[in-house]
Amino acid sequence: MHVDHGRGAVTARRLAEGAALREVVDTGAADAWIELDAGARWDDWYEQPYGWTTWEQSDGGRALSAAVRSGEALTEAQLALALCHRDGRIREAVLAGVAHHPALLPLLVLRCADWAEPVRVSARRRLAESLDAGRAVGLLPLILRVDRRQHGEFATELAEGLLRGAPGELLAPLYTTTNRLTRRYAYRRAAREGLLSPAELARVAARDADPVVQSLCADAALAAVRESGAYDDVLGPLLAARGPRVRSIGVTALRPAERPEEAMGFLADPSGLVRACARYVVRQGGIDPLAWYRDRCADPGDPTLRPSAVVGLAECGARADAALLWPLLKHPVAAVRAQAVAGLRVLDAADVRRLWPMLDDPAAGVVREVTLAVLPSAWLVPEEWLLERLGGGRATHVRRAAFRLALECGDDVRRRALDAARDDPDERLGERAARITALSVRR
């Protein structure tokens, strides 16, 4: 993960100038401590005017060095700088001071992974003396970041031991924190130690936005009920989840739950992943999904036809099923028309001569799909008809599609399209035409 050394150096400089710790450091943010630690020793800051080297020669720098040598008490800001000092002897000498400044415990965590072994050993002893379960919860985002470093495992193992058996109300903030690494850790631990019920895990999987947490909790919930067969409380949240990853896990679980008929309701899911899982489950239950799709697409005027049922037919159908898709090009719902075109492309049954007139469709989504289908054979589109679509009065999505296709045609059509598009009122189209023209001139 990127560390902003420059920002950390600015923080260190402000501390050196006498600013209070809480004025310049977001003490609750792991990144702020990592940046301070890295920025304080950043080579660029040492060498620049008013950097560390200059500061060490100033009254403030000399006072810090003298205080460290004599064992005098340091201010919180001085102690923070000393804990990040480039000299390991100074870092080690001031570790004891953290006991009087608990706000600096994050720097003690960082020193537990210090590259200098004497510093590391001493810091670990002092962290073990200072850390309790409550502080471990607050420091966990930083502890987990440090765990990725060489020698970084100590603080994690210490926190693990302190949190083992901790009351639920103490651990609750870990499940709702915005820090993704911490939330993953919390749910991984909850799944491993049985801290949450299968139903609770399923609800987390359904609502959390992090795909890692989704998969982790959904898999753990299903594993917990696999032997008992008590799927009811788990499948409900999974099947109703907004995220397709979680829905797909829930749909697949309908097979071991011996409820394959419920997967029928997901054959027309908006997600291709969920549709694929649903087809697998219904086939295992002895049901033919292709027959279901064919039945749904049989009436080209059906206003209730779902667009995902159309593309589902193409996903598992044969080329002969194109006969059901062609009539759907006139369906009143634009999304159905678009998926019918997409389905023809999937079945390798797109007839350019029948499709190119649909470039005038009022729906941009339909025109995008038609463009993709026509593009490999753009030369089959009548040239003058195509260039007319670049003229004023045409919808923006039509002009963009015509331009894209014209670029794939002969040199004359391409040149005329570039001339027309350079002055197009659509900035995006005009800029693209100008850029292509400039590249052509250079060549």
Q: How many residues would you count in the chain?
A: 443
Contacts of 82 (CB under 8 A, 6+ apart): 64, 68, 74, 90, 91, 93, 94, 97
- CA–CA gap between residue 420 and residue 398 (Å, rounded): 14
The encoded tokens of residue 195 equal 């801290």
State pLDDT tens for residues 260-318: 999 999 999 999 999 999 999 999 999 999 999 999 999 998 999 999 999 999 999 99
What single letter denotes the amino acid at residue 174? L
pLDDT band at 110 (very low <50, low <70, confident <90, very high): very high
- Please state the φ and ψ torsions of residue 200, each to the nearest 5 degrees: -65, -40
* DSSP for residue 379: G
CA distances for 181 relative to 175, 217, 416, angstroms: 11, 15, 55
- With a pLDDT cut of 90, the percent of the chain lying above it is 68
Q: In this model, does residue 250 exceed pLDDT 70?
A: yes
E-strand ranges in 30-84 read none
Instruction: Enter the tokens of residue 411.
Output: 């040199």
State the pLDDT at residue 311: 95
Does the pLDDT at position 191 exceed 80?
Answer: yes
Q: Is residue 359 a contact partner of residue 401, using CB atoms and an 8 Å limit?
A: yes
Question: Averaged over 419-430, what is the pLDDT?
Answer: 88
Name the amino acid, one letter, at 353.
R
pTM as predicted: 0.80
Helix ranges, 285-392 (H):
289-296, 307-316, 322-325, 334-346, 352-355, 364-374, 383-388
Residue 131 has pLDDT above 80, yes or no: yes
pLDDT at position 139 over 90: yes
Euclidean distance between CA atoms 148 and 188, whole angstroms: 17
Rounded to whole angstroms, the Cα distance separating 257 from 246 reads 16
Q: What is the pLDDT of residue 40?
A: 85
Average pLDDT along the chain:
90
- Percentage of the chain lying above the pLDDT 70 cut: 92
Distance CA 39, CA 15 (A): 12
For CA atoms 311, 312, 315, 316, the dihedral sign is negative
> Is residue 114 over pLDDT 90?
yes
> Residues 22-78: pLDDT tens digits?
999 998 899 999 999 988 887 555 555 545 555 565 666 666 666 666 666 788 998
3-state DSSP assignment of residue 405: helix
Q: Is the pLDDT of residue 227 over 90?
A: no
